[in-house]
Structures are given as structure tokens and as C-alpha cells.
Structure 1
Amino acid sequence: MAATPRVAIIGGGIGGLTLALALRERGLTADVYEQAPRLAEIGAAVALSANATRELERIGLGAGLAAASTTPTELIHRRWRDGRKVAAHPVGTGSWYRDRFHAPFHGIHRAHLQAVLAAALGPGTVHLGCRLVELGERSDGMVLRFADGRAEHAELVVGADGIRSTVRRWVAGGAHEIYSGTSGFRGIVPVDRLPDLPDPGAIQFWMGPGAHLLHYAIGSSGELVNFLAVVEGPAAWTGSEGWTAEVAGDVPLRAFEGWHPAVTSMIAAVTHTVRWGLFAVAPLRRWHRGRAVLLGDAAHAMLPHQGQGANTTVEDAVALAALIARESTATGLPGALAAYQTLRRARTRRIQRSSWTTNALLHLPDGPAADERDRALARLPQDLAWIHGYDVHAALRGRPAHTATAGPVVPAPRSPGAVVAAPAVEGCCRG
């Protein structure tokens, strides 16, 4: 057996590439196997919060991310019909967010983020067109078999292969995907086509009965607006193409009839032929089995309403790399995997629950409950500290993991009076 483990990462998305980079920072090598013929992320954009950007900056990606991203001016919540601003908090205005959480907030196209990661990794690590079809275990590690007949061996297999993970089926068995009963319509629109949109440089939630719309600027100069419009239904998901189902083009606008012109003009600016089902993964009893372990959506795919799918995936990758390196040899892997599960499972489950609860809070009809939610939004910076202020390295050292300089850390919401609504992320279940 090799002195240091040979690591095979299944999936060349944000999690797989970040893990490969984090391992390399610690003197370990990995091979990334991606089933697609080229690197191409699904989904329009991603909001990277401080709990991820501080880790990406630590591995030298800060300048590349900043060049490809837009930092939003504020986080704003608005009422659905008249656009009334019910809460506003600075993000990029001044240095408030960075001062508080010690890292920036970025809005970036998923493809641009993947390009930054891949460029930092360089050639030779990512193997394209490799669809994993079977895993097997033997005394010295794992055997991987791919659809093209290729077979590989590794001391450790990491499943960074998304919500319908082949590796998860080997680790945990069965199907764990849960349809939320909600779906989304998404798009990217040039900001100059949205004359009715107030504060185009801000992250904004428009909240209303049975639906909400989130948007934020992307592009190096904020010239584009990325949006996700979420509605209740359909009651059951029957999309034959997995995450998407065909839909008549007038369905999105009918769902937002009577909403502010900024919302309806944004939705109307895109031709909608599909709706995206919003799914999560049920909490898993175990994240590893033998010498295979799960990361990101494969372990804890969540609804996008806390904007943490991609961010928690980055956290996973950094934590797993550090724990593997700490054990330093293949014989130490079982302890590293057990420590990884202990460190990551409780936090990600908490964010999953919060994301699920937040959907209902964003969809309240006008009335006392919505008014109570709006009042709670005034304390959003404090309520978000436990998410954005998390520091993986502090957690690995067994120290308090929150780096925010002020404000109490509060639990995830359990009632309308304890709402936590953070920037959502484009994608079927990713954040």
C-alpha cells in the first residue's frame, strides 16, 4: 500500500476541483474523474459567502475570483406587490461584510468559478468522459469501473458526484433524494433590459404568497442579473429528464400575476421551456463506508434558500483534505473519515433544515405572520453569523468556528418569528 493514499475524486464540479486543490496544498495528489466530455457546470450562477471565500483565498484563488465576480451592494428584502423595502443590510457597500466575516461575498457564474478552479489545478488531474458505473472493495483499497471499460484503483474514493451520486449508492444504499414540492424558473438578463428594477447591484428577495424571486448581479462589472423564481408545485415531480420538466411558456408569468413590474419584466425577459424541481438529500446515517466517502451534494444536497450548497461543499473539501493529510498515510484513513463525518454532518444538517424552513417563510401571504417575518429580517446580520462566520480551520482545531466580530449566533429558524433568509443560489439543488 502506498505511503500516502491515492485519492480518486468522482465529479469535476466545484467540490471535486476544490478538494483536489486543497489536497495539493497539503502535498497530496488526486485524480478527478468527470463523466462529461468537458467541464461545464449546470446552473447559472452561485453566491459565494465568506465561509467559502476565506477558504478559496487561503489556497490562492482570491484574485481570480474577484476578477470574475461581482460583490453585491446590499441584501434587500421586498414585498411582492408594491416593492416596499422591508429590510436592507450592507454587503459590498463600504467594507462592512468583509470586516464582519473576514472574507468577501461574490456573485459569480458557475462556469467562471469552475474555470478559476480548473486553471489553478492545471492539466493532467481531471479525466473527462469517465462515468463511474461500479465500485468494488478489496484489501488494499477500491476498484473503480467506468462505462468505457476503464478500471482504476485507489486507496480512497470521494463521491463529489452530486445529488444522484453513484458513490452514495455504494456508501448508503437506496435513493435519498426528496422533492420539496416546489420548483423554479431561472435566467440571466442584461441589467440594461430591466429599467423597472430598483437597486440592480443588490441581492434582492421579492417575497409573496406562494412564491418568491431572488436575483443578484454577476459578471466582472455587474452587467448581468441572475434570477431564480420559486413557486409552489407541482405536487409530485414527474420530470422525465431528471431535474427539469417541460412547461408552457406562460406558466412562470401566471404564477407571478399582480407582482411588481420589476419581477414580471425579469421573468418575461427569458424564454422558459422548463421548470427545475427543487430537491434535497435526506439526512444520511453515514457518509463513509470502507474507503469511500461523500462530499457536497452527494452527502447533503439542500434547498437553495440559504445560498449554502456550494459554500458548504467548499467547507467539506477543505475539511476532508486537512483530515486526510493529518493522518498522512493510507492506514490512517478510517480515522480521518470518521472525524470528517463527525465534523461536518451536524452543521450541514442544520443548514438543510434552515433552508427547508425558509422556503415557507418567503412564501407567506400578506398578514400578521408576514409582518412578523419582516420585523425579524431587521436582525438578519446577527442571525446569519453562524453560517457566514464559520471557519473550517478553527473547527478543525476544536475551537469556536465563528469569526464574526459582533452579534449573537442564533439557531436555525423554527417559526416565522425566527426567520433566517439568506441569498439563494441558482440550480436544482445546489447552492
Structure 2
Amino acid sequence: MKIAIVGGGIGGLTTALAMTQAGFAVTVHERAAQLADQGAGITLAPNATRVLYHLGLGPDLEATSVTPPMTEYRHYRTGSVIMRMVTKDYRELYGAPYMRLHRWDLQHAMIQRLAQTAPGALRLGSCVDQVEPRDEQVALRFADGRLEMADLVIAADGIRSTIRETLFNPAPPVFTGFVAWRGLVDTADLPRQLHESAVAFGQGRHINRYLVRRGELLNFVAVAQRDQWEAEGWTIPAPLDEFLEEFSSFDEGTRTVISRPVLGQVFKWGLFGRPWLEEWSSGRVVLLGDAAHPMLPFLGQGAANAIEDAMILARCLKSEATPERAFSLYQRTRAPRVRTATDQAARRGDRYLGEPNADSLKGNEPGAEYAYDAVCGPLGG
């Protein structure tokens, strides 16, 4: 079976690795002409690392990641600790580690692994404009005029998915009322006591910071509420002084961290969502990750759910006689979990941006989401 995957991000690359491991031939079409080091961190909870270890990425993750002993939740103005979430024992508790990485370190490891298991599968500068289901195949039309056929297409092209909009629902993404900023700080420029993982929150804002790349860099993500997002792009450079003014009421330690980004660069983007989609597949085309079910970042499970999707979809295609039956089983397996995670992420965002006290953090401890096993768990919900 010839599988075309649209999108070379974390969801698409995980899908390629899972499909290759299951014995399928894959091609990954990524519109970007090159994939480069992009400045952002990512949290991988045990439910995600369990899949990545199964796909052979464990040594690469361990070489570049940071496993924090805990994360402290703090009052935004005073810096006083409200709650501690201990994470150092998660490998023992859940059978897989809790990791934080530079996003490019993860993506690069996936690209290298795919080059070993499926040489030539990743095609850069390959922009899919349209897909057309045709009986037992799918036609892919490219921006350069090419036409290729595949036995099935997996759309992992993110929240701005053109395949979702053309085949499933033309409604555009909707601004959620949140704006985020991100930056990286060289830890050599910070006092040692500011290297810890911490979330400072309150007054309708929060800042999450943590170490990545073996502790050489500290990643921060700041979120605030806004009535609208009018920028042309989805991610734009933000003036540092404007950003610091936005969070000027935060404690001194937090302000010190965010005032020292590498090269003075801070990036800003609006957080968007989409209505829940009742059908994730059409004929031999199926959606995965943010293309199917975008979620707010407050649960730290957006990438993890795309990773889970990839593993479950590969298992379903391996176990079912036809792609259509596999897609149905995939959605029955994934939809309840994804919907729960989406709702939890929205509720946690409300708590993070509410009053900075212990009551607002109730239910913040990990539960079933970390124990979920996409590798060996039951299919079908």
C-alpha cells in the first residue's frame, strides 16, 4: 500500500515512522523548502514518549532532552510557590519518562530516523494544493502542476490544513481570545536559581518556563487574553519592550528570565481553534493531529495527541482489511480521548488565567492522560 502523508511536522513524521514500522511504503510531502532550527520548546509526557521509544527514538531523546524533577506553580506578582508537581518519578509510575526538548531536536531526530528506515521518503518543497478521492486511490495535485496517485492520504498539515478545508469543512480557524509569546534564553546568561521549571500565573496571564537542549537553553511561553488578533501572519516577531510591558507586573525572577532572550528575539502568535469535526475521514483521506482536532496548549498534550494518533492509525491500518474500516476504527478509538483532552486544555487555561491560588490548580495533577498506551492499548474505544 502506497501512503502519502501531507505535512512534515511532528505529527506527520511520527506517522511516517509508525507506518514504516508497520510495513507500509510512505512518502511525506512537506511544503517548506527546508526544515531548520526553530526556537521553541516542547513538553513530552509519558503517553507521548512511550510511542517515540517504541519507534526507536529513545537514545536520541535522552541525548538532547531535560527531565525536570518538578515544576513549581507560582503567584505571578510575588513569586511565592502555590503548588509543586513532582515529575522525577514518572518513568517508574507510567513506564515512560517525562521530557522537555527543543522542538527542532525532536524533529531532527525523527528526520534522521526516517532516513534510516525509509530513505528518500521525506520530500521538501512538495506543496500539495488539492486531493481528489478516486475510487480506490487518491489524486494529489501539487503547486508546481504535478499529479501523483496514492492508495490513501493522511493529512497532518496542521490547524491551517488545506485538505480539511477542501474536503471536510471550509470554515476557517477561529481566534480563541489568547495571544502567546515565546523565546529562548541562554542559561549562561541567567543565575543558577532561575534555571528551574516554573509556571507563574494570574491577572489573566501566565508564563511557563523550562530547560531544553541538555539545559543549555531555557524556553519560555507567555500567554495573555486578547479580544482580537489582526496580524497578517500566524507567528510574527514582537518588540521586546512591548512584550516586557505586557508582563511588567510579574515577579522579579520571571521578569529577569523573559528580558534576556537570545538575540533579543521574541515571537508572538494568536491561538486559534476549530469546531469539533464529526467525521475525520472521507473515502481514502483521513485527518490527523491538529488538522483533525486542534487544542489549546495549556494541557501540554497537543503534540502528544498527534503522536498517539499516528501510532493508533498505523495499528488500525495493520489490523483492518480496508482503509475505510481502519479509518472508522481509528476515529472510534481516538475521538473520546481527544475530546476529553481538548475540553481539559480549555478548562486548564481558564484556571491558569484566573486567580493565582491553590483552588485554581485543583485537578492539575496528571491522570489518565499520562497512562494512556497507544502502543498496546485496546482499539475501538
Report TM bin, short chain: over 0.9
The 1-side partners of 2:37 and 2:350 are apart by 28
Which position in structure 2 is the counterpart of 1:45? 41
CA contact (8 A) 1:13 1:41 kept: no
Distance 1:166 1:42, change over 3 A: farther
Offset of residue 206 of structure 1: 0.5
Question: In the aligned structure 1, how far is the partner of 2:210 from the partner of 2:138?
Answer: 43
CA offset digits 1:192-245 (Å, max 9, x no partner): 3222854x243x11111110000110012x121100011111x1111111x135
Deviations 1:239-293, CA, capped at 9 Å, x for gaps: 111x135654322222212211111112211335652111123211110011100
**2:235 touches 2:267 (CA, 8 Å); kept in 1?**
yes
Q: Cα offset for 1:298?
A: 0.5
Q: Distance in 2 between matches of 1:305 and 1:106?
A: 16
Of 238, 243, 248, the match for 1:257? 248
Match 1:391 to one of 334, 353, 373: 373
1:320 aligns with 2:299: no
* Whole-Å separation in 1 of the counterparts to 2:135 and 2:64: 45
**Matched letter for residue 238 of structure 1:** E
User: Residues 161-172 of structure 1 correspond to what in structure 2 (within 5 A)?
Assistant: 161-172=157-168
Following TM superposition, where does structure 1 have runs of at least 4 consecutive aligned residues deviating by more than 4 angstroms? 245-248
Q: Measure the CA separation in 2 of the matches of 1:372 and 1:67.
A: 38
Q: Report the counterpart of residue 372 of structure 1 in structure 2.
A: 359
Say yes or no: does 1:55 pair with 2:44: no
Shift of 1:151: 1.1
Counterpart for residue 337 of structure 1:
327
Q: Percent identity?
A: 36
Per the alignment, residue 66 of structure 1 pairs with: 62
In the TM superposition, what whole-angstrom CA distance separates every residue of 1:133-168 from its partner, at most 9, and x where no partner exists? 111121231100100111110111000001110111
Tell me the equivalent position of 2:225.
Answer: 232
Counterpart contact for 2:54–2:375, Cα < 8 Å: no
* Correspondence 1:3-402 to 2 at 5 A: 5-40=1-36, 44-92=40-88, 96-122=89-115, 123-195=119-191, 197-198=193-194, 200-202=195-197, 204-220=198-214, 222-233=215-226, 235-241=227-233, 243-245=234-236, 247-270=238-261, 271-272=264-265, 274-327=267-320, 332-365=322-355, 370-374=357-361, 376=362, 380-381=364-365, 384-397=366-379
* Unmatched segments (≥5 aa) in structure 1: 400-431
Quick one: distance in 1 between partners of 2:187 and 2:90?
24
User: 2: CA distance between counterparts of 1:71 and 1:205?
Assistant: 16
Q: Secondary structure in 2 aligned to 1:183?
A: strand
1:176, distance to aligned residue in structure 2 (A): 4.5
Unaligned runs of 5+ in 2: none
In 1, Cα distance between equivalents of 2:24 and 2:236 = 42
SS for the counterpart of 1:189 is strand
Shift in Å at residue 35 of structure 1? 0.5
1:339 CA displacement: 0.7
The alignment partner of 2:219 has SS state of strand
Secondary structure of 1:171's aligned partner: helix
The answer to whether the 8 Å contact 2:180/2:224 transfers is yes
Q: CA deviation at 1:40?
A: 3.5
| 3-state SS of 2:240 partner | coil
Paired residue secondary structure (2:148) = strand
**1:55-114 C-alpha deviation (Å, 9 max, x unpaired):** 11112111111111111121211111111111113213xxx1111111011111111111
Contact persistence 1:131–1:147 (CA under 8 A): yes
Q: Report Cα offsets for 1:359-380 as digits up to 9, x if no partner.
A: 12111245xxx34225x2xx64
Q: Give the conservation status (yes or no) of the 8 Å contact 1:78–1:87.
A: yes
Tell me if structure 2 keeps the 8 A contact 1:176–1:282: no
Secondary structure of 1:313's counterpart equals: helix
* TM-score normalised according to structure 1 size: 0.83
Q: Secondary structure at the match of 2:16?
A: helix
SS of equivalent residue, structure 2 residue 347: helix
Q: What's the counterpart of residue 407 of structure 1?
A: none
Structure 1 stretch displaced more, 7-16 or 164-173: 164-173
With normalisation by structure 2, the TM-score equals 0.94
1:339 alignment partner AA: L
Return the alpha-carbon distance in structure 2 between the equivalents of residues 371 and 117 of structure 1. 39
Checking the alignment, whether the CA contact within 8 Å between 1:171 and 1:287 is kept in structure 2 is: no
Distance 1:273 1:393, change over 3 A: closer
Letter paired with 2:158: G
* Alpha carbons 2:83, 2:358 under 8 Å: kept: no
Give 1:404's aligned residue.
none
